[in-house]
């Protein structure tokens, strides 16, 4: 007995030793130190331009009839008037009437071009929320170093910052050796078919294959990753897909005074709770693994233990990440029942109860995988899983995070912000890159500005704003991205 206890003790000591050593070795990969580069901008002009851009009500409405053509025309005239150098040196083409496509010819036509992009349409301000704004949404006010208004984050700041960056480079006499395209979309918020879609079709028709593209996406996160001190530049290398399914439960109708043991509503409820209890399988692999592996190396010792010892703690990591909405969305295809419909009257039994469930498809799954999973989980003859026509969109390809474009973006951000963690990430929302990605070897989604958890509420919400400092750092980052990417 004593001997057994001794052996057990020895095993435990060895195990703990292995865990601690592995954790100690779980350190950031050593990267070349980057020399900070100072970019001296015309701050006053850059700020004024963003304020002016916000004032155009270039709102994307779901209904075509609500489209304010004049606001878009005015914005385009403003771009032409405000950026004389850009319009002199670059070729401009209007696509789908309102999307601006600029081409900056490089001196070496052998090099594959790159594309920088953003969109200048914005979502509407929800009626009734106007008074909740601390500053009016379309005034472009600056108060205490903060620029307020719709589009300050999503995504006029990126469009204006890119135009400022090009102006800055032209003033320095800088010329690209690689051709650079800039595409400023007018309909991203309603799918981007007429803007980004048409630009993509045009490039494809001209046989132009981009080395890489950069669109809106993730940010330099400040305080978003628990336990990670430095800023984390999450460069999104893929975008989730989406499929919406109708779950239809059927039953005999009749009067509610003499119901069967289960009505269509009860049958449907059971199916939905099965779906919530059995999410689409996921876990740490591929892109998700790369992301959490990179970031966890910057965590404090105790928090690093599970990530450094995945051979032992994988199920624990899975549980913990799945328990938070952000972590869960990174690990798997998510399940979200959103709409319900059944009987039309209180005393009438429904013959059909329908739930709409939206799934955001992880790059590891296909739309067909998700449908198959749902049918297997529901497994009830009384319930039908319908796939509405045209409802499925596959996740994007996963771009290579060891490619030149990724390196250029990461390096440029470090030149401006100093030592930040650079990691590939996964885009949960949609972007115009669902189109552009078709003509790019690698497609990235990243805005080089800092984002705190509080800032995020401004997206499509009230009080959208960006600090002057943050915005100017964004402009400087684009200067470095263009220089490093096409110089």
User: Which residues sit at the interface with Zn ion, rule CB under 5 A?
Assistant: 154-155, 216
CB of 243 to Zn ion, least distance (A): 22
What is residue 194's DSSP assignment?
I
CB of 155 to Zn ion, least distance (A): 4
- Taking the C-alpha atoms of residue 166 and residue 216, their distance in angstroms, rounded to an integer, is 17
Q: Which is nearer to Zn ion, 273 or 457 (CB)?
A: 457
CB of 153 to Zn ion, least distance (A): 8
CB of 329 to Zn ion, least distance (A): 18
Q: Which is nearer to Zn ion, 157 or 309 (CB)?
A: 157
Q: Which residues of 179-206 are buried (b: 16+ CB within 10 A; e: fewer)?
A: bbbbbbbbbbbbebebbbbbbbbbbeee
Q: Which is nearer to Zn ion, 18 or 126 (CB)?
A: 126
**Count helices and strands in the chain by DSSP H and E runs:** 15, 17
Give how far Cα 61 sits from Cα of 53, 67, 69, 251, Å.
Answer: 19, 6, 12, 39
Q: Which is nearer to Zn ion, 57 or 168 (CB)?
A: 57
CB of 216 to Zn ion, least distance (A): 5
Q: Do the beta carbons of residue 239 and residue 434 sit within 8 Å? A: yes
Question: 121, 154, 189, 415: which is the annotated catalytic residue?
Answer: 121
CB of 91 to Zn ion, least distance (A): 25
- Taking the C-alpha atoms of residue 307 and residue 311, their distance in angstroms, rounded to an integer, is 9
Residue 111, classified by CB atoms within 10 Å of its CB into exposed (0-12), middle (13-18) or buried (19+), is: middle
- Taking the C-alpha atoms of residue 242 and residue 333, their distance in angstroms, rounded to an integer, is 9
CA contacts within 13 A on the Cβ side of 414: 20
Active site residue 441: no
Q: Which is nearer to Zn ion, 40 or 62 (CB)?
A: 62
Q: Do the beta carbons of residue 116 and residue 105 sit within 8 Å? A: no
Token pair for 71? 């606001």
Q: Which is nearer to Zn ion, 326 or 459 (CB)?
A: 459
Whose tokens are 């429904």? That residue is 350
Whose tokens are 């994307």? That residue is 60
Angle of the 301-308 helix axis to the 286-296 helix axis, nearest 10: 150
Helices (H), 433-467: 433-436
| 3-class secondary-structure state, position 272 | helix
- Taking the C-alpha atoms of residue 28 and residue 47, their distance in angstroms, rounded to an integer, is 36
Active site residue 121: yes
Q: Which residues have C-beta within 8 Å of that of residue 286, sequence separation ≥ 6?
A: 363, 364, 398
CB of 189 to Zn ion, least distance (A): 7
Omega of the bond leading into 55 within 30 degrees of 0 (cis) = no
Q: Which residues of 393-404 are buried (b: 16+ CB within 10 A; e: fewer)?
A: bbbbbbbebeee
CB of 121 to Zn ion, least distance (A): 9
Q: Which is nearer to Zn ion, 96 or 458 (CB)?
A: 458
Q: Which is nearer to Zn ion, 188 or 211 (CB)?
A: 188
Question: 154, 164, 188, 432: which is the annotated catalytic residue?
Answer: 188
CB of 119 to Zn ion, least distance (A): 6
Token pair for 172? 């320095």
Q: Which is nearer to Zn ion, 155 or 211 (CB)?
A: 155
Q: Do the beta carbons of residue 480 and residue 415 sit within 8 Å? A: yes
Helices (H), 55-205: 69-82, 84-89, 156-171, 198-205
> Catalytic residues, which ones?
121, 188
């Amino acid at each position: 007995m004593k001997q057994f206890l001794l052996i057990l003790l020895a095993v435990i000591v060895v195990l703990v030793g292995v865990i601690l050593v592995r954790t100690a070795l779980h350190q950031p990969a050593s990267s070349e130190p980057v020399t900070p580069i100072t970019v001296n901008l015309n701050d006053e002009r850059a700020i004024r331009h963003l304020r002016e851009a916000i004032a155009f009500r270039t709102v994307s409405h779901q209904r075509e009839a609500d489209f304010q053509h004049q606001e878009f025309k005015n914005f385009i005239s403003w771009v032409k008037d405000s950026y004389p150098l850009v319009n002199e040196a670059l070729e401009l083409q209007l696509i789908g009437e309102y999307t601006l496509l600029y081409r900056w010819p490089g001196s070496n036509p052998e090099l594959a071009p790159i594309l920088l992009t953003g969109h200048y349409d914005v979502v509407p301000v929800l009626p009734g929320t106007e008074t909740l704004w601390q500053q009016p949404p379309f005034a472009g006010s600056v108060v205490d170093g903060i620029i307020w208004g719709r589009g300050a984050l999503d995504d006029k700041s990126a469009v204006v910052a890119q135009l400022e960056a090009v102006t800055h480079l032209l003033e320095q006499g800088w010329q690209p050796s690689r051709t650079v395209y800039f595409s400023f979309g007018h309909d991203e918020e309603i799918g981007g078919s007429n803007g980004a879609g048409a630009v993509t079709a045009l490039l494809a028709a001209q046989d132009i294959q981009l080395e890489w593209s950069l669109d809106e996406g993730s940010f330099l996160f400040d305080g978003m990753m628990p336990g990670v001190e430095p800023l984390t530049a999450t460069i999104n290398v893929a975008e989730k897909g989406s499929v919406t399914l109708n779950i239809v439960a059927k039953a005999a109708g009749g009067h509610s005074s003499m119901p069967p043991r289960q009505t269509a509503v009860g049958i449907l409820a059971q199916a939905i709770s099965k779906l919530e209890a059995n999410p689409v399988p996921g876990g740490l692999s591929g892109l998700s693994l790369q992301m959490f592996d990179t970031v966890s190396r910057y965590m404090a010792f105790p928090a690093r233990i599970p990530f450094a010892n995945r051979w032992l703690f994988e199920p624990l990591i899975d549980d913990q990440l799945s328990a938070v909405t952000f972590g869960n969305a990174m690990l798997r295809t998510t399940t979200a029942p959103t709409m319900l419909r059944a009987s039309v009257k209180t005393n009438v039994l429904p013959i059909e109860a329908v739930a709409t469930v939206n799934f955001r498809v992880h790059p590891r799954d296909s739309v067909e995988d998700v449908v198959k999973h749902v049918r297997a989980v529901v497994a009830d003859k009384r319930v039908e899983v319908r796939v509405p026509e045209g409802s499925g969109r596959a996740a994007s390809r996963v771009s290579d995070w060891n490619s030149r474009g990724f390196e250029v973006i990461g390096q440029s951000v470090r030149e401006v912000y100093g030592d930040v963690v650079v990691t590939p990430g996964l885009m949960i929302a949609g972007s115009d890159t669902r189109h552009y990605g078709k003509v790019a070897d690698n497609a990235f989604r990243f805005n080089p500005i800092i984002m705190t958890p509080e800032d995020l509420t401004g997206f499509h919400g009230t009080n959208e704003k960006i600090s002057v400092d943050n915005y100017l750092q964004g402009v400087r980052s684009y200067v470095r991205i263009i220089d490093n990417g096409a110089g």
